[in-house]
A and B are shown apart, each in its own frame.
Chain A
Amino acid sequence: MSATQELVQKFTEKAELVSAFVTTVSSEDEAFKYVIDLCDKKDACQLLMSGCERDLSDKAEALCDTKQQKIIAAPGQKKGFYKELATLSKKAGFECIDSGMRDHLAGIDIGVTYAEYGIAETGTLMIDCPSEELRLATMISEYHVCILPKSKIKKDSYAVEKMMLTRMKKTPNYMAYVTGASRTADIERVLALGVHGPLELHILLLED
């Protein structure tokens, strides 16, 4: 097995251990298709945001009925990338946005991002997100879909240290290591996914 293959294998194994969904795609087109399918399948019969089906206080409930349509967000991406995704979304009947996340704080269905690097040791995505729109897309989306070029997978955190420093020194900077979905074990140590952030993390490994 080549060194890259080994890293890809390790990354996949570790990411799946924390219940991320890892899929290989051969092109961005395939990635778009994945996103549209996922959005389509997601809670097909309802538009409710996660948690809104519960009995909530009146104030919390007020934030629930602000959404009319399923939403895909892909801020901070290359123009062509966004255009293509937006066209496909529209065709499928979803709204696609690349800005205005703050108008959707109740939640969006899918956030699509690109990772700078992957860390094989822990199955971690390194996402550089000084732009607030991009950052919010990784936080308020219910499903976070992140594209990671295979060549960008490094062995461990030390191997991305230099790249982190370069970015950190161009202040202001906001960077995240994302590993699996948002989780908690605060009630009786029982694992529950999707507390404040995404309920699911989908990683698309892009052949390059």
Chain B
Amino acid sequence: MQKAKNLKEYREELRESLDNDFLRTTLDNFAIAYKAGRANAFKDMDVKELINEIACSKDEAGANADALYKEFKENAEAAGIHVHYAKDGDEANRIIAQIAKDTNCKKIVKSKSMTAEETLLNHDLEAAGLEVTETDLGEWIIQLRHEGPSHMVMPAIHLSRYQVGELFSDVTGKKQDSDIDKLVKVARRELRQKYVDADMGITGANFAVAETGGIGLVTNEGNARLCSTLPRVHVALMGLDKLLPKLHDALRILKALPRNATGQQITSYVTWITGANECASAEDGKKEIHYVMLDNGRSELIKDPLFSQVNRCIRCGACANVCPVYRLVGGHKMGHIYIGAIGLILTYFFHGKDKAKNLVQNCINCEACKDVCAGGIDLPRLIKEIHARILEEDGHPLPNMLLGKVLKNRKLFHGLLRAAKWGQKPVAEKDGFIRHLPLIFSKEHSFRALPTIAETPFRDWWKDNKPHVEKPKHRVALFSGCVQDFVYPEQMAAAVKVFAANDVAMEYPMEQSCCGLPVQMMGEMKTSKEVAIQNLRAFELGAYDYIITLCASCAGHLKHNYPKLVMDKPALKLKADEFASKVIDYSSFVHDVLKVEEKDYKKVDTKATYHAPCHLCRGLDVHEAPRKLIETGGMEYVECSEEEVCCGFGGTFSMKFPELSAELLSNKLNNVEETGAEVLLTDCPGCIMQLRGGLKTRGSKVKVQHIAEIMAENTK
């Protein structure tokens, strides 16, 4: 739940989670186990294809929601079910309270439903004098603690067995120990009595199948079955997003939902209810069933050209499971009611700007969520778009405006960077780091040293050192990005050396500037767009086969976001598409295109490990090329655990949430040091800045280099 009024308060709340050792250990273990479990569950399956199919069928269902609802309602009513439409949460809760009143129900047993969490149903029912008992074990636990869920699938993951033991001692009035099996048995008995007493059962629904008018429920504990069988009245509350045309669509989602949620092939129970069933406790022997279909903004959302993808969400929770920020702070902080990446988005739409404004900034843009999403939703992009919307509504903070102004004017921007070189003189050390942080940084930023601005930027070096290539095999343009232009120009120079040796003719268009990702990360979409247009204009596409960048983040942004940024300008869009198709990262170019060979590189006896930049491994789906290059380039590659997990840089993220950035970096560096490697290689200057800074502060001997540098050093 979000209570923080501003970013400062939000950061204080995050601190609490970071200091919670139990939570941290649990979520660390979970993150690692989940990854293996998921991979195993999808083994032998074409996951990409399945996700694709789900995305298509859900998009279609979204587009036809009105017709589907009509069909669903007609079929359900024909089978004796009452169907209600609720435009918002309050109305849904009112309808359900009214049903209870009309049917003279007093006691309610409930199975898990995120939709009911969304409408805060229990609260309203209790206010209407009804007794509501959650029967899903995790939900019951948090209900007793008066908390919200901290995960969509495992609502009580933040609690230990000892906490549950104490809680159950209170509930039973007898001392309970902390053995999990025993605690589960206590819940079994305590809740069994509740089913016996209840006159109404409330469930959610995972599927609302239009062709049958029936619903499907996906559960493990079996509580939804008892809730929908024993009491004489059954109410199922579901969002419009659950509508599907055919049973087949539900079966397809069922192939992904449990696998993506918990790494299970299928849950213990999938219950299909169609029509008003037999019920011995009802007067006429028939159960009274009500479906409450919740809109709450969904019908608007599915009409939005960009946000309609949100309708594809099947609430599997995977986007939280893989999120490095979730792993650090847990669901109470990485969400309001809905949790994880999708939580950041839904909070804005269902619970409003105030609850979402801090949350949406807490995404490092690592794309791990997008990579596993069962609906193929471009979650990081939507999060950024919401951030942008909130800025539009609330006004842009001063630093954003300044940066935006500066970035839009390349000459001014580069002039400032050059000036910074002189400004840093008094604090610059010989080893390329700044001795102490400038005053604008608070002490939370001291977890990593910052680099100095280079003596000569790459663009100046290029003027004097552009190599002449006799018989070029490839013609390429170089895109440096700001960091390699002004902080690490030697990495560019190293690449130039290897390219020239392999007959690659190069151009460096001087009008290029920052790729724009940093401003986009701050939610400044307009500036991002303008910078993109400048860069597109700087490149004469006909002249090059490839546009190469050594920065994984630039590469991802140029390739995937540029075409989207200029979508509304048809002529530029064509250019952006062509531009994007030519963009390639350093490792892929050298390994896949140049196909360099081991014989051309000296063998050195150095053990090197690797950090996979988010925007390379997930953004561009490049996995093999860099690792192969390390070996080709003469080093011994040792694998690092969690190699593809974010280093915590995230550009401006590390400025805004230094405490989270520091933790992510610390996990990363622990893993790196464990490998015993002397050198850490990677493909992105942003990551290098973060990793070097952290190792320097630790006083570690591990050296961080761009792969381009070792390729140049070891060239025979």
Which A residues lie at the B interface, using CB under 8 A? 14, 17-18, 49-64, 102, 105-107, 121-124, 130-132, 135-136, 139, 157-158, 161, 164-165, 168-169, 171-190, 192, 194-198
Contacts and interface: CB of A to CB of B under 8 A. Distances in A.
27 contacts: A18-B265, A54-B185, A55-B186, A63-B192, A122-B266, A135-B225, A164-B247, A171-B80, A171-B276, A172-B277, A172-B278, A174-B271, A177-B269, A177-B270, A177-B271, A179-B267, A179-B268, A179-B269, A182-B221, A183-B220, A186-B136, A186-B154, A187-B161, A187-B164, A196-B221, A197-B222, A197-B269
A169 B212 contact: yes
Interface residues of B, number: 79
A161 B250 CA distance: 10
Contacts of A130: 277-278
Given A102-B280, A124-B266, A192 B272 contact: no
B189 A56 contact: yes
A173 B275 contact: yes
A63 B265 contact: no
B174 A56 contact: yes
Among A54, A173, A198, find the residue whose CB has the most chain B CB atoms closer than 10 A: A54
Contact of B188 (A122, A165, A181, A195): A195
Contact of A139 (B176, B229, B272): B229
A196 B226 contact: yes
Given A124-B266, A176-B270, A158 B192 contact: no
Contact of B214 (A61, A173, A190): A173
A73 to B, nearest CB: 14
B314 to A, nearest CB: 16
B26 interface: yes
Given A63-B196, A186-B154, A174 B273 contact: yes
B442 interface: no
Majority secondary structure of chain A interface residues (helix, strand, loop or mixed)? loop
Contact of A188 (B79, B136, B180, B279): B180
A131 B278 CA distance: 6
A198 B270 CA distance: 15
Nearest to A64: B189
Nearest to A132: B278
B138 interface: yes
B174 A55 contact: yes
A173 B186 contact: no
Contacts of A196: 135, 188, 191-192, 221-223, 225-226
Nearest to A180: B268
A115 to B, nearest CB: 14
Interface of B: 26, 29-30, 33, 78-80, 135-138, 141, 154-157, 159-161, 164, 171-176, 180-193, 195-196, 211-214, 220-223, 225-226, 229-230, 247-248, 251, 254-255, 262, 264-281, 286
Nearest to A198: B222
A173 B274 contact: yes
A195 B221 contact: yes
Nearest to B79: A171
A63 B161 CA distance: 26
Contacts of A157: 251, 254-255
Contacts of A174: 229, 271-274, 277
A158 B53 CA distance: 15
A105 to B, nearest CB: 5
Given A57-B174, A185-B220, 9 more contacts: A18-B265, A18-B268, A50-B188, A51-B188, A132-B278, A173-B274, A174-B229, A187-B164, A196-B188
Contact of A194 (B188, B213, B230, B277): B188
B185 A51 contact: yes
B161 A158 contact: no
Nearest to A162: B247
A55 B176 contact: yes
A26 B230 CA distance: 36
B276 A172 contact: yes
B219 to A, nearest CB: 9
Contacts of B276: 171-172
Contact of B193 (A60, A121, A135, A175): A60
Residue in A64, A172, A187, A195 whose Cβ sees the most chain B Cβ within 10 Å: A187
Given A102-B280, A194-B184, A195-B187, A60 B269 contact: no
A139 B248 contact: no
Contacts of B225: 135, 139, 176, 196-197
Q: Counting chain A CB atoms within 10 Å of each CB, which of B33, B141, B155, B181 scores highest?
A: B181
B274 A172 contact: yes
Contacts of B286: 172
